[in-house]
Every structure is written in structure tokens, then in C-alpha cells.
């Protein structure tokens, strides 16, 4: 199932239960998958038109009135375009607004560089008081939606709209502030987020066959990062690799480096190397930007070698 359909379905369930939830979008209700909710909740869904700054501050106003607004648009417009509104209207007063940014990074595919946020996590992560969550697959997103609703404060959710390969299975228990260890290992810690999680898992399996044991951690919440889980693993394995659909500046790599600043552990990166995106489908974009399973394997080997050299 497409993640946007999962999001819309789960949001619909939450809105059914809680009359305080209000949804705002900026002419992308169709793109976000929520157009169908409008008939069910005509008094609680508002299209602000192509005016994201206004949408963000209206969300803050509604939250100040005791409502629980969700605002949604493409990731670039949900973050870099409105970062002052996120900072001053929403985060400074600590208002309970959920911000959904869809198709972050290369997930924007054919919309190209203008819609491809390589910096959204960096922009938002440096604003005090906001949580940043990125789902991997349907199971995790379904589990996360009630937890996001229950959390009283601003959250930025960066979510690819398309269907994603399954990573989590039945019985998955979600904790918004606890990273998920997908695989135990002894030679290398791989921290991964979002749509590259399946690739990282495949890379870890390939490396295992070659005798390199990787611990794989899905950091679904990059802020606040689960330092305890990441640092404990890093201390055990002695080397870390971060994998993200984002600039290596300011995102998961930076967050892990900050979390491990006091640990004597090398931290390698697979991510977008400080460049803008371009148009294309994922099979083109992944190799073009160095975000493939093969590249993860290559950098992972380098990270493990660096331990021996030290």
C-alpha cells in the first residue's frame, strides 16, 4: 500500500476518534492522499491554497485554541519555505502542530531538484523543540500515527508517498523515541533512516555472507536521536556508517556524529554529497547520487577496514 494511503487511512481513524484533530493542506490534498477525507470531515479539513506560510501559522493559531492540527505539503514547502513560521509561530510557543512533508530527497523523482529536499532535516533539526520522524514502511507508519497524535508538541514527519518494501513485520512495537535495532552485529553499526532502510538491510545481509557482521539500527526519529541505542552499539562494534536520503550535512550523519562526539569511533557516511538533486526515477537517481546497496557495501567495508588500520 502506498504510504500516503496508509497515512490518510490512519489519520481518518484518528479524526474519527478525536474531534480536536484538524487537517490543513496547501493545494496538495490530492497528492497527499487526503482528498477523500474531506467529505467525511467537512468542518475539520481546510485547503489553504498555495500559501504554505499562512497554513503553518494558521496551524499555530488553531493549536493555541486547543485543536490538534496536521499541516501537509511537499517536503520542501513544509520545511525550508516555512522555516521561520515553524520556528516562531509553532516551536517557540511549543504548539502542538504536526507537519507532514511528503517525498523528501530523491523520493521527489520527476519533480526534480526544486522539489528535492536534501536539507530539510538540517533546517528543521536546528530549530529547538521539534521532533523529526521518518517512516520506513507501512507497518511502521501505521504504528507511528497514534503515537504521533498522542505526543503533545511539534513534529516534522518526512514521508515518501509511494509504497515501500516491507521491513517491519507483525508484532512490531513502536516507540517514537526509541530507535529500532533490525539486526544484531559485531563489526559495524549501520544507522539508517527512511526509504534506504531496505537497501541497508540487503547490504547487511550481503556483508554477513562475506563474513562482516553489521548491526542495523533504524533511526526513525532523528531528533531527538536515541543516543543510548546508537552509542551502545557503536561502542560494541567500534565503527559506524550512516545511510540517509539527505545531504550528509545536517541530517542523520550529523545527528549521529553529534551523539557520538565523545566516543572514539569512526563514523562513515552514505548520503547525498552536498549537492542538489535532479529529475529521474529512483533506479536512475540512486546510483547517480550514490545511494545504492552496492555503495553501502563498499563504504561499510571501508569503515570496517579503518578499525584495523587504527
Question: Where along the sequence are the contacts to another protein (CB under 8 A)?
Answer: 22, 43-44, 46, 48-49, 51, 53-54, 56-67, 69, 84-85, 87-89, 92-94
- Of 50 and 166, the one with the shorter C-beta distance to another protein is 50
Shorter beta-carbon distance to another protein: residue 21 or 289: 21
Shortest CB 85 distance to another protein, Å: 6
Nearest to another protein of 84, 175 (CB atom): 84
Taking the least distance from each CB to another protein, the nearer of 48 and 145 is 48
**Are residues 180 and 230 in contact, defined by beta-carbon separation less than 8 angstroms?**
no
CB of 77: closest distance to another protein in angstroms?
13
Shortest distance (Å) from residue 106 CB to another protein: 30
Residue closer to another protein, measured from CB, 94 or 153: 94
**Residue number with CB closer to another protein (92 or 172):** 92
Decide whether 51 or 166 has the Cβ nearer to another protein.
51
How far apart (Å, rounded) are the C-alpha atoms in residues 261 and 281?
A: 36
**Residue 41 C-beta: closest distance to another protein, Å:** 11
Tell me if 184 sits within 8 A of 233, measured CB to CB. Answer: no
Q: Match 551502545 to its residue by C-alpha cell.
A: 232
Least separation in angstroms between residue 272's CB and another protein is 30
Q: What is the closest distance, in whole angstroms, from the C-beta atom of residue 25 to another protein in the complex? A: 13
Contact 121, 246 (CB under 8 A): yes
- State the nearest-atom distance from the C-beta of 86 to another protein, in Å: 11
Amino acid at each position: 500500500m502506498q504510504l500516503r494511503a496508509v497515512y490518510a487511512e490512519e489519520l481518518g481513524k484518528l479524526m474519527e476518534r478525536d474531534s480536536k484533530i484538524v487537517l490543513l493542506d496547501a493545494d496538495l490534498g490530492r497528492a497527499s492522499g487526503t482528498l477523500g477525507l474531506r467529505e467525511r470531515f467537512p468542518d475539520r479539513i481546510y485547503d489553504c491554497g498555495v500559501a504554505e506560510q499562512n497554513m503553518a501559522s494558521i496551524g499555530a493559531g488553531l493549536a493555541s485554541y486547543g485543536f490538534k492540527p496536521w499541516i501537509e505539503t511537499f517536503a520542501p514547502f513544509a520545511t525550508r519555505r516555512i522555516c521561520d513560521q515553524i520556528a516562531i509561530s509553532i516551536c517557540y510557543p511549543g504548539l502542538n502542530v504536526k507537519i507532514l512533508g511528503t517525498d523528501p530527497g530523491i523520493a521527489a523523482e520527476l519533480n526534480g531538484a526544486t522539489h528535492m529536499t536534501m536539507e530539510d532535516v538540517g533546517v528543521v533539526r536546528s530549530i529547538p523543540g521539534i521532533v523529526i520522524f521518518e517512516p520506513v514502511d507501512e507497518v511502521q507508519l501505521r504504528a507511528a500515527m497514534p503515537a504521533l497524535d498522542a505526543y503533545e508538541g511539534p513534529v516534522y514527519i518526512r514521508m515518501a508517498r509511494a509504497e515501500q518494501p516491507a521491513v517491519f513485520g507483525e508484532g512490531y512495537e513502536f516507540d517514537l523515541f526509541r530507535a529500532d535495532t533490525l539486526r544484531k552485529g559485531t563489526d559495524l553499526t549501520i544507522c539508517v533512516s527512511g526509504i534506504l532502510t531496505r537497501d541497508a538491510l540487503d547490504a547487511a545481509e550481503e556483508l554477513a555472507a562475506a563474513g562482516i557482521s553489521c548491526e542495523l539500527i533504524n533511526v526513525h526519529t532523528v531528533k531527538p536521536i536515541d543516543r543510548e541505542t546508537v552509542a551502545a552499539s557503536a561502542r560494541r562494534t567500534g565503527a559506524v556508517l550512516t545511510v540517509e536520503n539527505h545531504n550528509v550535512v545536517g541530517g542523520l550523519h550529523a545527528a549521529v556524529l553529534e551523539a557520538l562526539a565523545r566516543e572514539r569511533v569512526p563514523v562513515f557516511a552514505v548520503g547525498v554529497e552536498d549537492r542538489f538533486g535532479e529529475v529521474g526515477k529512483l533506479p536512475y537517481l540512486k546510483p547517480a547520487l550514490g545511494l545504492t546497496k552496492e555503495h553501502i557495501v563498499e563504504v561499510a567495508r571501508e569503515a570496517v577496514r579503518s578499525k584495523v588500520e587504527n
